[in-house]
Amino acid sequence: MAYSTPGIVPVDEFAPGTSILVAGPPLTRKRELMIRLLGDDAADEGSIMVTTKMGAGKLLELFREWNGDRPADRLHVVDCVTKERGIGTVRETETTAYLSSSRDLTGLSIELSGLFQRYHRSGDPMRFGVHSLSTFLMYHNLPRVYRMMHVLSGQIESVDGLGVFVVDSPTDRELEMLSQLIDGVIETRETDTGCEFRLRGLGGRAAGWQAY
């Protein structure tokens, strides 16, 4: 089953197993692009979001604001930031997990492996997003983040999912290495009139920068 993206980017649908990198400067609405790409009206679809910059509660609010409601058991968040901030209390649920920080790649791997296995067993379509790889690059060197992304993109392919990875202002080396693991890039930028994006390697109908 292909993944539809009506009205979000100039691609009607993405093939199962596709992974996308959303790259650009801060404040160019990359999180919004990711969240919109993770939403769909299909009743059997699920979404998994890894967040390193925004707490799970706010992220879920934005998901529902931009995509509408989804059954609670179809929307999972792995929060890598709230515990590290140490403000307030956290309460894990069946669909929200909290890691100590973005340093804990082992805990992240364990949590996500369980979720991917669930979708693999059910055969249900699944969309997966990470915001943002840049936080992992703060704590870990590029080869380790590359290995993590290699595993995740392989898991996405194994479950015939759709993956969306966000990175802020990657260096040339970061973009070159990370691009080896994905099928295409959505680049973003800010202009005097707002934000724009363009697609590379994703079969978009229109070339060049487009307002978003």
- Give the pTM: 0.95
For 153-178, what is the mean pLDDT?
A: 97
pLDDT tens for residues 9-27?
988 899 999 999 999 999 9
Which are the contacts of 39, defined by CB distance < 8 A and separation ≥ 6?
Answer: 47, 63, 66, 67, 68, 70, 127
Say yes or no to pLDDT of 6 above 90: no
Which of 9-13, 30-34, 106-110, 116-120 is predicted least confidently?
9-13
Cα separation values, 57 from 147, 187, 191, Å: 29, 27, 31
- For residues 102 and 80, the answer to whether their CB atoms sit within 8 Å is yes
Q: How do residues 147-163 score in pLDDT, each as one tens digit?
A: 999 999 999 999 999 99
3 to 8, 9, 19, 79: CA distances (angstroms): 12, 12, 12, 25
Q: Encode pLDDT of 54-113 as tens digits.
A: 999 999 999 999 998 888 889 999 999 999 998 777 889 999 999 999 999 999 999 999
Residue in 111, 127, 112, 136 with CA at minimum distance from that of residue 53: 136
Q: Is the pLDDT of residue 205 over 90?
A: no
Helix axes 30-37, 56-67, angle to 10 degrees: 60
Q: What pLDDT is attached to residue 204?
A: 59
